[in-house]
Amino acid sequence: MAFSVPLLAAASENEAVRLAYDAMALGADAIMCQWSPRFISAATEAGVPVQGHAGLVPRKSTWTGGLRAVGKTLDEALWVYREIKALEDAGAYAVEVEVIPEGLLAEISKRTSLLTSSIGGGNGGDIQFLFADDILGNNPPPYPRHSKQYCSLFKLKSRCKPSGWPVFSPSSTTSERWISGTWTACRCPGRPDRRISRGGRG
C-alpha cells in the first residue's frame, strides 16, 4: 500500500525522510509524492520506496500553463521524458504520469526502468490509475475527461437525503467525502498538523 504524502508537507530533505518514515510506521509499503528529485533521492537513500509524479502535476501546474494536458509538442514531450529520467536517477521505483498523450507514454515506458502508472495517459503505461471518486461518480460533475463513470453515487446519495439537506456538510473535506472504508486520513505521529493520506490524493 502506497501512502500519498502532500507536496508542501516537507521543506527539506530531512523533513522528507521523516515523513517517509512516518508513513512506513503507519503501515505504508511505499510513498507516492510530487516532490523534487532531490527530496525523493533523500527518501530512497534512507530505504523508502518512492513513486514520483510527472506530466501534469496539479500542485505545480503553473509551470505547465494550468490544468491541461502536457506533452503534445516536441519540447514538452522531451521535458516530460527528462522529468521521468530524473526521478529514475533519484531512485524512485515508479512514476504517476498524468494527462499526457498515450503514444508518448508508451514510448517513455520503453525507455525507463520505472513502473509507469497512467492517469489520463491511456494504455501507454504499465498500469492505469483511476480515482474511485471519479469512476463511481461520488462527487458532482464535471468529471475528468479521461475517466468513465460506471454509476453516480452522488445522485444516489442525493436521493437518500430529505429534500433541502446538503449531501455533505459545508465543513466536510475531500477526504471526508469518500465512502466510508475506501479512504482513511492518518495523522503523522508527533505531528498533528501534518496529514498523510492513505490511498487518496496528496
- Residue positions annotated with a catalytic role: 98
113 φ/ψ angles, rounded to the nearest 5 degrees: -85, -10
Other C-beta atoms closer than 10 Å to the C-beta of 189 total: 11
End-to-end CA distance of the chain: 14
CB 132 within 8 A of CB 117: no
Other C-beta atoms closer than 10 Å to the C-beta of 70 total: 24
Angstrom distance (rounded) from CA 163 to CA 186: 34
Angstrom distance (rounded) from CA 185 to CA 99: 26
Angstrom distance (rounded) from CA 169 to CA 166: 6
Which letter does DSSP use for residue 25 in this model? H
Cell of residue 9, nine digits = 508537507
CB 13 within 8 A of CB 38: yes
What letter represents residue 63's amino acid?
Answer: W
